Amino acid sequence: MDDHNKWIQQGYDDGVFLVAGGLQPSLGGGIVAHNSSLTELQNRISRDPFVAENVVCAEILEITPSKVDERLQFLLD
C-alpha cells in the first residue's frame, strides 16, 4: 500500500491528479486526472504498483466537460 500511496502522491506532485479516493460501497478506487494525454495517462497507470502486480485492472473513462462550476473553470480552458 505504501508504494501505491507514493504513486498517487507523485500524480499530485506532477499536477495530473485532482481527486483520489474510494468508490463506495467498497468498489475500489477512483482518480480524476487532468493535464495528461490518454497515452501519458495509460503509461502512468501502468506504473501503479496495484496495476503492475495485477492486483487491480484499471479502466479509463474520458470526460469532455461542457459546463462546470466556476471553481472548475480551468477544466474548460
Domains of the chain, by residue range, sit at 2-75
What dihedral do alpha carbons 16, 22, 28, 31 form, nearest 10°? -10
The whole model's pTM is what? Answer: 0.89
Residue 70 has pLDDT above 90, yes or no: yes
Higher pLDDT, 27 or 16: 16
Residue 26 has pLDDT above 90, yes or no: no
Residue 58 has pLDDT above 90, yes or no: yes
What pLDDT does residue 4 have?
Answer: 97
Helices (H), the chain: 2-13, 38-46, 49-52
What pLDDT does residue 74 have?
Answer: 92
